[in-house]
């Protein structure tokens, strides 16, 4: 939605940043050049009286974003997952952003539910409570089904929230273009990429069917994980603007006093929450990327219950193997192997010196391993690692940044339960088990089997491919051009070998 409202919104944004004292914090975090600083000041300083005051008790950045409203709060939360863009200090400030906002009336929520599900609330729910939690995008009500009396949580999007967010996102795109214009070479800014990433996150959170789907996939992956549970999604009572799931009774994971009174073992909980996160990231490549205490409870039977699936992380299988080898190398303090893995994966350009890179990695790892066990942090290690790899020419990998940010959050949760836990001791069995299963002869056979299945799907087309290659070779026999034999025979041989290995694995298994 183009229009003058974008300029007005940017002026009010600049005015609020100036009034709350956040302007310098933000400009310094982005390493803004003089031209961009001048434009930002011009949009803010003369119009300070238009800016929102915010809560003076908050740090400047969080104070400004909270005052500016839901879209800015969510933007700050997303930026907190990108320390590569805003720097560690500002990312740490943004992590404490709370999107607890005044709820909208229960009657409006019930009207939204009726519009979304196409029938009166009284036909579906015996009871429908006042809001029990209200965030920037949606709020939650406790209800009870008419059909079987089951207690459920009903999440409802705020009325007209899509239009409100779209207005602010349009203003964000305008700001990104201004940054591109006045700071084309500014390091770490990448403004359009950041806004597109934010837009994608918001699109997902504004369609609760996608969150329901994420919860369903996560449940399918983790169904057999001991000591872990997810509330089931009730698809018959869910739609684009409404999500209904089973009610989760339990003690908040952040309330140590309540956990102790309930008789839960906090040492076991601290170790389990870390193991579960690593298991989901390595085994499944699909993990809850917002695992703070507010999204975790402990059931009466001791299970850890997770909810709120708006932000999920995904890592492909190849990247998981690389990540596991890197972690395992650090656990063994084998910095040479860690360096070689980076080069083998193509993360660090081949023009760099592998031995010099290994020495730089040693400078990262040794100070951390020299600490007391209770101070060793895998999240800090990854943060330092990314700094070193950036110096050696490694491009930013967003999925690993999200993993590192979540690792920091999960470590914080674990240490709040047990300040003396040894992160490496807890992590080692999970990483070693993944290494054994994903790297070795059996894993190689599995990979070749998958390759064979892909090639087998193209089996009926292979004769035609060979014929076309022969015709092309006969029509234009240039000596420097690789012949059809250079790719047809290896492909057929690979398919045959892979097929044989599939049969062998199936026979042995």
Contact 245, 140 (CB under 8 A): no
Distance (Å, whole) CA 140 – CA 157: 9
Annotated active-site residue in 84, 168, 225, 290: 290
Distance (Å, whole) CA 78 – CA 198: 7
Catalytic-residue membership of 225: no
Distance (Å, whole) CA 17 – CA 52: 9
CA angle 301, 307, 311 (to 5 degrees): 150
Contact 324, 282 (CB under 8 A): yes
Bridge-based pairing of strands 151-157 and 242-246 is antiparallel
Distance (Å, whole) CA 349 – CA 121: 60
Contact 242, 116 (CB under 8 A): yes
DSSP string, 74-106: HHHHHHTT-HHHH-HHHHHHHHT-----PPPPH
Q: 215 CB contacts (<8 Å, ≥6 apart)?
A: 230, 233, 245, 309
Contact 121, 129 (CB under 8 A): no
Half-sphere exposure of residue 213: CA atoms within 13 angstroms, side-chain side: 8
Q: What is the H or E stretch that residue 393 is in?
A: none
Q: Active-site residues: which are they?
A: 290
């Amino acid at each position: 939605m183009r229009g003058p409202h974008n300029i007005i919104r940017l002026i009010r944004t600049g005015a609020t940043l100036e009034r709350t004292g956040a302007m310098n914090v933000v400009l310094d975090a982005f390493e803004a050049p003089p031209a961009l600083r001048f434009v930002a000041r011009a949009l803010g300083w003369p119009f300070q009286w238009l800016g929102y005051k915010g809560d003076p008790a908050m740090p400047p950045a969080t104070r400004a974003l909270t005052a500016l409203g839901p879209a800015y709060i969510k933007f700050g939360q997303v930026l907190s997952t990108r320390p590569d863009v805003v720097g560690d200090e500002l990312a740490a400030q943004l992590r404490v952003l709370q999107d607890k906002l005044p709820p909208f009336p229960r009657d409006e929520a019930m009207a939204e539910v009726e519009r979304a599900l196409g029938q009166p609330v009284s036909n579906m729910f015996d009871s429908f409570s006042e809001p029990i939690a209200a965030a920037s995008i949606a709020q939650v009500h406790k209800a009870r089904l008419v059909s079987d009396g089951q207690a459920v949580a009903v999440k409802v999007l705020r009325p007209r929230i899509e239009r409100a967010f779209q207005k602010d996102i349009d203003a964000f795109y305008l700001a990104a273009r201004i940054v591109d214009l006045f700071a084309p070479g500014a390091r770490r800014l990448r403004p359009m990429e950041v806004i597109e990433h934010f837009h994608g996150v918001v699109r997902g959170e504004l369609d609760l069917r996608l969150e329901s789907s994420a919860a369903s996939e996560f449940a399918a992956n983790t169904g057999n994980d001991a000591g872990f549970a997810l509330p089931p999604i009730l698809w018959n009572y869910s739609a684009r603007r409404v999500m209904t799931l089973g009610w989760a009774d339990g003690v908040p994971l952040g309330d140590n006093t309540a956990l102790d009174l309930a008789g839960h073992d906090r040492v076991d909980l601290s170790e389990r929450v870390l193991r579960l996160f690593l298991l989901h990231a390595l085994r499944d490549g699909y993990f809850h990327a917002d695992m703070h205490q507010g999204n975790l409870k402990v059931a009466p039977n001791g299970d850890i219950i997770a909810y709120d699936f708006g932000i999920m992380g995904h890592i492909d299988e190849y990247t998981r193997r690389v990540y596991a080898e890197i972690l395992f190398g650090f656990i063994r303090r084998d910095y040479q192997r860690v360096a070689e893995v980076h080069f083998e994966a193509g993360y660090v350009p081949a023009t760099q010196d592998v031995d010099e890179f290994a020495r730089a990695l040693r400078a990262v790892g040794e100070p951390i391993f020299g600490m007391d066990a209770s101070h060793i942090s895998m999240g800090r290690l990854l943060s330092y690692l990314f700094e070193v790899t950036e110096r050696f020419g490694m491009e930013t990998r967003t999925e690993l940044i999200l993993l590192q940010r979540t690792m920091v959050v999960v470590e914080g949760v674990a240490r709040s339960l047990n300040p003396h836990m040894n992160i490496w001791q807890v992590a080692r069995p999970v990483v070693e088990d993944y290494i054994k299963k994903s790297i070795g002869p059996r894993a190689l056979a599995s990979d070749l089997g998958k390759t064979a299945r892909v090639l087998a799907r193209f089996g009926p087309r292979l004769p035609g491919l060979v014929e076309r290659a022969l015709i092309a070779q006969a029509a234009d026999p240039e000596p420097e051009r690789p012949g059809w034999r250079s790719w047809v025979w290896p492909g057929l041989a690979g398919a045959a070998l892979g097929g044989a290995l599939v049969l062998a694995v199936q026979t042995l298994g």
